[in-house]
Amino acid sequence: MKKTAFVTGSSRGIGREIALKLAEENYTVVVTGRSKDDVEKTTAEIKSLNGEALSLVADLTTEAGLKEALAFVTKNVGKLDVLVTNIGSGKTLQDVIVDVNEWKRVFDINFFSAVAAINTFLPLLEKSKGQVVCISSIAGIEKISVAISYSVAKAAVISLVQQMMRPLAAMGVRINAVSPGNVWIENGSWDKKMKDNPARVNDIIQNQVALQKFVSADEIADAVWFTVKNSSITGQNIVIDAGQTRQWP
């Protein structure tokens, strides 16, 4: 029987590339998102490449959405081998003083969405002796030019992975994080920044990134697959940033 992967936020962007990669590696992938058109487009793309995929349109930042997801997986697949928590957004205020409700919103998207997904699917992962991969960010290990609340939320994701590693290992479940740097995606945030202010973007890439290049989404997907296939990796944070960070992860 094929192994199954559930990737939150996988209808576009980095999540889409992760879904495509896992399908390429012979996983049945549950493609998820809030846009029916995007979910169905990615699902169809996987199937056109002779992969297997199921579509789930749901808001996985909500309790109701996760309950629906668990029921969907249980009914349509009956098991789960890999959970990738990929929901996140850096869109927030850059100010030093930000209302606590905005902090909570940023944490709900970038941190608690991962916690809730793990809580929801852990019983299935324990049965399969499966694994979790959490998508964080280099913002979680080093101060870069993003909002403080986003950086702290992504640091919390990395800490979550490190703190959960031993108790999950006792259950036979592995957990790791992958932290991307500046990922170029067509119509993504860096594409939009390049169109708005190419001089500033080029300055960042040329002067702050050692390899002077963007990271591609498929490189992040490859890193996820590396942690999935290697049975001796757990509790780690894999940084894919083309040499932007200056301190150890």
CB 19 within 8 A of CB 42: yes
Closest CA to 83 of 96, 93, 70: 70
Q: Which two tokens stand for residue 171?
A: 């259950």
CB 31 within 8 A of CB 5: no
* Angle at the Cα of 43 from the Cα atoms of 16 and 105, rounded to 5 degrees: 45
Angle separating helix axes 13-24 and 217-229, nearest 10 degrees:
50
Rounded distance between C-alpha atoms, residue 236 and residue 229, angstroms: 14
CB 189 within 8 A of CB 150: no
Angle separating helix axes 113-128 and 63-76, nearest 10 degrees:
20
Which residues are tagged catalytic? 136, 150, 154
Burial class for 153, CB neighbours closer than 10 Å (0-12, 13-18, 19+): buried
**Bridge partners, residue 55, by sequence:** 31
Q: Which two tokens stand for residue 77?
A: 């697949």
